Structures are given as C-alpha cells and as structure tokens.
Amino acid sequence: MRVGEPRRFFLVPSGESMPAGDDELSDLQLVVRKVDLAAMEDFEVDLATAQAHVDAGWGRVLGTVRDALRQLTGKPATDEPPDLSTWIGVTPGQVALDPQARRAGRRTLLARAGELLGHDVSEERLDEAEARIDDFIDNAPRPADAAAAVGESLRDGAERIREAFVARTGGDRQQREGEE
C-alpha cells in the first residue's frame, strides 16, 4: 500500500523484485520500501481487490484452525469458508486496509470484551482504549528498525571483541607478525 495520500494498493507476486525509487510503499507488516511507483503500475489493484486478497489469506488460515478444532471434537472438516466478519463486524481485509473499518472493528472488539467481562464500556472508555492502542501501534518497532538495531548491536559487539583482543594481546596480531 502506498504510504501517504492518495492511498494506492499493489499485489506483488512473491519473488517479484520492486524497482527502487523515491516513493514509499508499506506492506501489511508495516515494512516500508522506497520504490518507483511508475514501474509498479502493472501490480496496482483497487481497494476491494486488496481487501479480498487479505481476506482470502486469513480465510485459509482460520479455516485450517477451524477444521483442526472440528477434528479434535470428532466433527469432519468442512469446505465452507469461515465468515470472517461475524465476530467484530468487519473482515481482516477491511481492518488491514480501511482505517474507518479498523476503528469500527476495534470498538466492537473492545465492547464485546467488556461484555464478556461483565462491564458496560462507555464511549469515553472506548476512546481511551483506542488511543492507547494507536499509541502502541505508532511506537511499536518496525521489522526494518529491529533489523537495524540488531545489526548495530552486532557491530558494537564485534568492536568490543576487537578492542578486548587488542588490549589483551598488546596490539594487532598482524602488526606483531610484521615486526618479527
């Protein structure tokens, strides 16, 4: 999905390379890549197609889980696709790609959780919970950031090992060998 406005959606087959450029695209895991949008036009889809793609993936996953649970209880697996919108009122594709549907689904989920616990959740409490969720999402480390942090940590660790080696041996091994 294109970062910023207007929102655009792309279905890029796995293994397909994306040409580098100045435009930002984010995948569903929130990994942002710099790409050339003009070269991506063949992969562009509308919102409904993008949502259907996400729903199909979640449908396969949830169908597999449902069938495993059915088999544990002695019931046969079914070919019926799971209805993904029954619990929170929106599908995973809508949650992933439509901010208004995401908000509606979250509010339904929070309200149902309150009902489950025997609490009447006010609109004010829903707003507070949603603000906390948004803050968490906005400040959560992204995979690319985490990878960069791991790389920095490894680089720092290697430098500390090198410094300890030099301190312990009195210098670089190659330098000593050259002196002999």
Across residues 14-29, what is the average pLDDT? Answer: 82
Residue-by-residue DSSP string for 66-135: HHHHHHHTTPPP--SPP-TTTTTSS-HHHHHH-HHHHHHHHHHHHHHHHHHTT----HHHHHHHHHHHHH
Read off the pTM.
0.51
- Phi and psi (nearest 5°) for 118? 80, 25
Structure tokens at 158: 């290697």
The domain limits of the chain are 46-139, 143-179
Structure tokens at 75: 């019931």
Crossing angle of the two packed helices 99-116 and 123-139, in degrees rounded to 10: 120
Which residues have C-beta within 8 Å of that of residue 163, sequence separation ≥ 6? none
pLDDT digits (tens, 9 = 90+) for 28-79: 766 788 888 888 888 889 888 888 888 888 777 777 877 887 787 788 888 7
CA distance 178 to 21: 47
pLDDT value for 87: 63
Residue given tokens 């435009």 in the structure block: 23
Under DSSP, the state recorded for 13 is: P
pLDDT value for 148: 62
C-alpha distances (whole Å) from 160 to each of 36, 150, 156, 172 are 40, 15, 6, 14
Are 39 and 151 in contact by the 8 Å Cβ rule? The answer is no
